[in-house]
Structures are given as C-alpha cells and as structure tokens.
Structure 1
Amino acid sequence: MNDDLPITLDRAAGTPLATQVADAFRAAATDGRLRAGDKLPSSRRLADTLGVSRTVTSAAYDQLHAEGWITGKHGAGTFITTAPKPSPAHDVSYELPVGDEGLIDLAPGAPCVATIDKAAWRRAWRAAADHPSMIRPQRAGLPDYRAAVVEHLLRHRGLAAGVDSGTVLTTAGTSSATGELAESILKPGDAVAMEEPGYRRSVGALRAAGMTVVPVPVDAEGLCVDAIPRGVKAVYCTPAHQFPMGGRLPAARRVQLVDRARRDGIIVIEDDYDGELRYDAAPLPLLASIGPDVVVHLGTTSKILTSALGVGWMVAPAAVAHAVLEHRDRTGTRPSPAGQLVVRELATSGDLARHLRRTRREVSERREFLVEQCATAGLSVVGDDAGAHVVVLLPSAEAERAVIAAGRAAGIHLDGLKRHHFGPQSTFGIALGYTACSRAELHDSIPTVAALLAPFVHRGPSRT
C-alpha cells in the first residue's frame, strides 16, 4: 500500500489517537477506499507516516484485528479482510457485496455458463487469436461478426436483418447501446418511456445521456401501451420476456405500439435480452419485423453465452445506424473486437447453435424444478415459460426485505423487486434466477427459499 492513507488525525480532539486511526480504517473499508486484500503498512511504518508513536498504531491494529477487519499473514504483512455485511433492512443489489461471494446466487440476469462446451470455447479463442491484428478500428463492427449475427437472428429470432429489417451494427451490450442511441438520435431532456418495474441499467444509461425517464406500468402481458404518455421521443421495452415481471407482449399490443410510434414519430428500443430462451411456444414476431422503420432491435451475448465477451448487436433503420456511427466517429468509441471474433468462430463452426440447444434444455429443466418446488410450498410464480428467472409476489416492502435478509442468513443471495423500480415501488416480490448457480446449488437452495417465502405469500395482496 502507498503512503496516501485515508487517515487524518485531530490531536486537539478528545478521542484517543489509536481510536481515530482504527475509525479511519473502518470508514475506508466500508466506503470502498480500501478493499478486501489491500495490504496495509506495518505498524512501525504507519507510525512514522502519521508522526505518532508505534504504541498508537499497534493499539489500533490490535483493535481492528480483534474486530475482524484485518488479518496478518506471516512473512507477508497485514491485509484488509472485508467490509461488514449490510444491515438486513438495506436493499441488496445484484452484485454480491465484498466478502459475500460464498452465497448461492439466485439473482436474475445471469447466463448459464455451465452449458458452455469447454473444448468449443478453447477452439474459438484459438481461432480468434489467428485473426490478423487490426490496423484501423471498425466502428460498425467486424463484417464477419455482423454476418454471423444476421444468420443467428434469421435462424433463432425470425428476423431478416440486413435485408428489409435494418442495418446491423456491433455493440458492447444492450445498456451501452441504449446510451449510444440516446446520445446519437435524442436531445438532452427528451422524454423516454420506460417499463416500471424495468431494467435499471438501461434507466441509468438513459439518465447518464441526459434523458428524462418516464415510468410506464406493466401488467401480466408486459408494457401497457395505452399508458405511454404523449410527448415521449422514445420507448424502451422488453417485449419477448418483460424484465423483471416476465410477461410476453401480445401480438395486438405489438401492432398497437408500432402504429403509435409511426403516428407520433417515436423510436421504439426493443431489448431482446433473452429472447432465444423460450420453452412453451414459438416466439411472436419481433417488433423489428413489424416496424423496421421505427424499431431499433438490441441483442446481447451476455445472456446466452457469457458476459466475458462484452458484445451484442443493434438492428436499426438506416438513418439511426448512420447517426450512431457518426457518434462513434466523434467520440472515438467502438465495440471490442476480441469478443466479436470469438462469437464469429462459435457461429461459423456450429458450436453456437449447439450451445443454444443445450442451454434451452438445461435452463428449461431448472425452471421446471423451481416451479415444482414452489408449487409444493403453495407458491405461484409470475412470468412466461421463458428466460432465466421467475417472480414470486409478496404483500409488502417489509416482507420483501425480510425474505432477502432471511435468505442471506441461510447463505442465499436473493433479489427483490425494489431495485427494479425507479419511481415509488408498486410491486413487491422476489425475482428468482436459476442460471447463476450450479444445478446442485439450485436443488439445495430452492426448498429453503420456498419455505422462507411461504409464510409471507399467504398473507395478502402483492400490489399497492
């Protein structure tokens, strides 16, 4: 660790210097300035730096060690161990807090990496490494990758991209693409309608671009098109499998949304984040197939493969695609080519199609197990037979917090619906993902989760 320590001593204060040192380290570990694994200076060096006696720093270290904040490794030094776990009353974010990596992760939004064929994965990376080094950046993305996307969309989503349904561009993922679109075709302050509850990272991307995000309610079938207010410039939605509530936008609403977009000059952003994962029926036509002139279709590899690749795609009307490319030229941004090369190799070898078949089978079986366990406990789940999560509704915010806290105490990370609201919370419950953990972990944890949920679910309604 360097000498830039997060410690300021007040010798005029009535608080002992050793206590001030210990308090400073606790605060730095809590707010993230120090992290688990960071090495601390020796007590002698710290004393020299602060201009105090070694008795002061040794006493501070002894107290921190007794409280579990630091640990000593023989011959290596002294290290921060972890920040304290949050109070059960605090909201639990999707990312596991430092020190909680041992929890079984049942949050939504993760790919099922267990279905990746390791041999195919290695082959794809080796083949990608043989590609000649790039000299100039490809702002639109690598042509071979975009060709692979066109084939993928045609075979798995029924979209004739690049023919009569828009221009294909590579992206760094759906949230990144949403931000790019806002900065390219909208103006700061423009109103963008967003599903509520909805995907918070896209809300963040829109707000970071200066947009005014307007909540629009969802029901069991997805976005309530009639509730979209006048004056919005764009609408963001997840019609294949609404996130997080899991509804599928029916054909009539899809046509209604496209008609509204054409009449009012609205751009529709269609986030198809796990549209390939459907088990009960053939998918409905994409919005981009119905309205290629007003719909921008977004997809990603982070839900069907792994987030490690960091690539996705955008299918947009020519004018929108041109505006995005101009924005990339101005800002010098572009999607990373490495992930594109790997996906291209997986697609051209047929390994991507085989992976999707394995993933659908595995994830469908996991969902079936989860639903059966919930039914045994008298619980109903919300959401179509698709994707990688379901929702169990709860009667109140207090019940939601209590279940999350009880899950944490049982070694299980659960995700509440609160964080998916960007206005006042109107729907309460737990979004149960079944792809971030192993199958064995799922089988071990779901009966416990069902038992935690059951007492609350049977008490009353789930909406305000």
Structure 2
Amino acid sequence: MAAQYAIRGTTAKGIAASVERAVADGGLRPGAALPPVRRLAEELDVSPGTVATAYKELRQRGIVVTKGRGGTVVAQGPSVGSRRPPRVPEGVRDLAGGHPDPAFLPSLRPPSPVGPVPGSRRASPRLASLEELSRAWFARDGVPVEHVTFAQGALDCVGRLLSTELKPGDSVAVEDPGFHHLLDLVPALGLRMVPVAVDDEGMTPEALRAALRAGVRAMVCSPRGQNPVGGWFSRERRDALAGVLSDFPEVVVIEDDHNAEVSGAPSFPLAAAGLPRWAHVRTVSKHLGVDLRWAALACDATTLARHEGRMLLTSGWVSHVLQETVARLLTDEDVARLVGRAQDAYAERRGALIGELARRGIAARGESGMNVWVPVRDESAVVNGLRSRGWWVAAGARFRIASPTAVRITSATLTPSDAARLASDFADVLGESEALYGG
C-alpha cells in the first residue's frame, strides 16, 4: 500500500510531507484511502505512534479526514494543491457554477486617473464615503452599525474571523448541506465541522442546539439565499435561533449574507437579535460583479478589534481603487435599477424551474437565491444523464456532510422556456435511472 501511494518517511513530519506531496501532485485523489496506521508503520519500519502523529497533523491541516471504520481518507477539498470545479464539457449548458447572469451585472468603471499613493494606507484603510454607504446598507435591514470594516470578499472575511477566534481542533457549526468552499475552508484551518441541518427557513433550532451542546465555538450561517438549499430566516426562525444561542453567549455567530441584494427574500438577521459575539458579512460579487473582491463587515467591538489586528499584520487594507469602484456603483441610479431587475428575474427563473419540476412529480427546494436543490437517489447517474442531454449540473456531494444525496442547479440564467426543457430531460433521466437501479 505504501509503495502504491509512494508514502515515505521515518519521522511523523516526513510521512506527513510525503502524503501532502502525493495529494498536491494528484497521486492521492480526494476520497482515496490511506493505509491503516499499523500496516503503514510496518512497511516504513517506524512505530505506530509515529504514523498516528503524522495522520493527526494531516487531519489538523485539512488534508485528510477520519471516517471511523472507514479509515483515514484524503479530504474532498484538501488544503493543498488547486481544487477547481470540474471543467465544463464542450457543448453543454453550464448550470453548475452558482454564478449570476452577466446580463444583470453592470460594467465596471474603475476611477481614472489613479495617482501614486504616498506611502501606506494602513493609517486610513477605509474610504470614508464607502464606509458610510456600508453603514446605510446594514442599517436598512436592522444590522447594528457601530462597528464596520472591510475585507477582500466574504470567504476571506469568514476565514480571518475563524482563524482569529478559534484554535486548531476547535469545532464550528456549519450548514448541511452548505457552501462547498466553506466546507473546504474549515478543515483547512485545522477546525472540526459539526453539521447542522437546514430547511426552507435555514438552520433548524433543534439541530443548532445539538451542535452547541457538542461544544462548538463558532457557527457560520446564511440568513437568506442559503447555498445550496435556498432557505431564508423568517422572523420566527430568527427569534427561535437567537433563543437557542442565548444559552451559549461565548459562541461567535457569523452570518454570510452574500447575495443580500438579489436573494429575493426579506432580511431578519441574527445580527439584530442582541447577541454578544456576532459578525454579519455582505459582499457585492453576486449583484455588481464577480471580480469585485470586496466585502463589508458589521460586528461587535471585540470581533472588530481581532479582525482589524489580523488584517493590519497581513494585507493591511483593501485596495482604495477597488473601494472607489464599489462606491461609484453603489451610488449609480442606473445600476440600482439593473440590480432590481436582476432580483425579479432570479425569483422568476427559480420559481419557474421548481414549478416545472413539480409538474413532473419532482420535488425541489429553492425559496431564495440563485440555486435549486433537487433530491435524487444517484447523483452521478443524474449528472451524467443530464450531461448527455446538454446540461451540466453540480453533484451534491461537494455540498453535503451527512445530508441526503441531491444535485444543485443554478437557475440564474435559466429562462422559463429553458426550465421546461430541463425539467422534461430531468424526468427522463430519473426514469432511466430507476429502470437501471430498480427504483
């Protein structure tokens, strides 16, 4: 087994480095099993404790995961190498990426000309006009605005918050199914994920309470447009979750409101519930442009200090050229009207697909956002069957921890007439799958 995977080394660090190289080079693919500890120890002529230490290091760095009797396997999103989405095959319609419709994104107009910066922006990292626009954006939906700052995208912000608040081995409550990049990021930071079930109103209170009792130190959730299910917090669900969290005041609550302007759902954020430790993150990539790597963060004073301190030591600030570009777009009336049309179109397209699937007896979920989540028995059969008919959708495995199998369809570019064709093809594929696998 060791020779097959080219695992070598006589120390824990050497063995871990050998596995890491194999994963980065593609010799060990996601899901590949590593040799049992005792077997590898015998083959390398080292103690079982040495191998166990190597595997522990790999787990803490998000390269492998342990699945009980299933042994130790390479993580689905290992924190080394480049894990990109599968390349879209030629000749098929891409409905797997989760991206907005380019027709509803404005043309970006960076400020011109841009003069040289005399030194550093560390002393004044935020453009005053954009900070005020951000405060108004948050305040509109009841998010407290006493402490506001910026980051280089929502995931960058969430990663910095987790890395400053937690230490390797700590647990984080995450949505299941949830945002696949977050599910990759958490173990890459050396943290443990505790899945929390979601329904059409987001995280369920019962599942969250179980996770909190299990000792999580932070939770990451989406108040609306949840990816991939599309759930959103009603006022009642928000209050119920806040009631559960009130018994665990030390837990840091991070809300990722990534598609606030085009989710098609009202805002009832946990940030407005008076929690002691909280952070509410918003970005503009879904409604202003995927290349605008900027996010606004509202949070409590302690969280702000820790986030700012870490940013000061790393990137220092978000580019003021980028900030000026975002500020101009946020104050452009034509852009505001375009964003409004986008939200209406996304709601219509999402509803059309769900309706067409329902008319063919296929249940689907998608109360808000840009995606539709369709439970299926065999993800691979559905993905491959739709590919043969010219559609490219995402297998649900990338989004799941313990939740049932499904596929995710991005509906942002799918017109109602396209939705009817896709639903018809979907029904045919399910019929073929049932005939092949017996139901």
TM-score of the two chains, using structure 1 as the length reference: 0.68
Q: Is the 8 A contact 1:377 1:454 kept in 2?
A: no
Q: Deviations over 1:351-386 (max 9, x none)?
A: 4422221111221232233233323323232121x2
Tell me the residue number matched to 2:226. Answer: 242
Aligned to 2:103: 114
- Of the candidates 416, 424, 446, which is equivalent to residue 422 of structure 2? 446
The within-5 A match list for 1:293-372 is 293-372=276-355
**Structure 1 residue 293: deviation in Å?**
3.3
1:286 aligns with 2:269: yes
Question: Where does residue 409 of structure 1 map in the other structure?
Answer: 388
**Which residue is 1:255 aligned to?**
239
- What whole-Å deviation, never above 9, does each CA across 1:293-346 have from its counterpart, x for those lacking one? 322101111222221111112111111111111111222453343332211001
Q: Is the 8 A contact 1:232 1:266 kept in 2?
A: yes
AA aligned to 2:205 is V
Over 3 Å counting, the alpha-carbon distance change for 1:133 and 1:161 in structure 2 is farther
Where 1:298 maps in the other structure, the secondary structure is: strand
1:301–1:374 CA distance, 2 compared to 1 (3 A): same
Contact 1:111 / 1:305 at 8 angstroms: preserved in 2? no
Letter in 2 for 1:175: L
Q: Which runs of 5+ in 2 are unaligned?
A: 1-24, 28-75, 77-81
1:388 equivalent to 2:365? Answer no
Query: Secondary structure at 1:129's aligned position in 2?
Result: coil
Q: In 1, distance between residues paired with 2:244 and 2:144?
A: 23
Q: 1:456 to 1:433 in 2, by over 3 A?
A: farther
CA apart distance, 1:348 = 1.9
The answer to whether structure 1 residue 179 and structure 2 residue 163 are counterparts is: no
Q: Which residue of 2 aligns with 1:10?
A: none
Aligned counterparts of 2:414 and 2:375: Cα–Cα separation in 1: 24
Cα RMSD, aligned residues only: 3.1
Whether the 8 Å contact between 2:172 and 2:219 is mirrored in structure 1 is yes
Equivalent residues in 2 for 1:53-72 (5 A)? none
Q: Is the 8 A contact 1:377 1:450 kept in 2?
A: no
Partner amino acid for 2:397? Answer: K
> Residue 331 of structure 1 aligns to which amino acid in structure 2?
T
Aligned pairs (5 A) from 1:66-85:
none
Return the alpha-carbon distance in structure 2 between the equivalents of residues 318 and 202 of structure 1: 24
Change (3 A) 1:198 1:300: same
Question: 1 CA distance for matches of 2:381 and 2:83?
Answer: 17
Distance 1:381 1:98, change over 3 A: closer
- Quick one: which of 150, 160, 175 aligns to 1:170? 150
User: Structure 2 residue aligned with 1:144, among 111, 115, 129?
Assistant: 129
* Equivalence for 1:276: 261
Question: 1:431 maps to what in 2?
Answer: 408
Q: 1:369 to 1:255 in 2, by over 3 A?
A: closer
Note the C-alpha offset of 1:196.
1.3
Aligned pair count?
A: 352
Mapped to 2, the partners of 1:456 and 1:277 lie a distance apart of 36
Task: State the Cα distance separating 1:240 from its structure 2 match.
Answer: 1.6
Aligned to 2:149, the other structure's residue is in SS state strand
- Identify the residue that residue 177 of structure 2 maps to in structure 1: 197
Contact 2:227-2:371 at 8 Å conserved across structures: no
**Distance of 1:212 and 1:415 partners within structure 2:** 25
Kept in 2, the 8 Å contact 1:116–1:305? The answer is yes
Identity of aligned residues (%): 27
Structure (1 or 2) with the larger CA radius of gyration: 1
Give, in angstroms, the shift of residue 420 of structure 1: 0.5
Q: For the residues of structure 1 that align with 2:335 and 2:151, how far apart are their CA atoms?
A: 19
Distance change (3 Å), C-alpha of 1:238 and 1:159: same
Q: Partner amino acid for 1:245? A: V
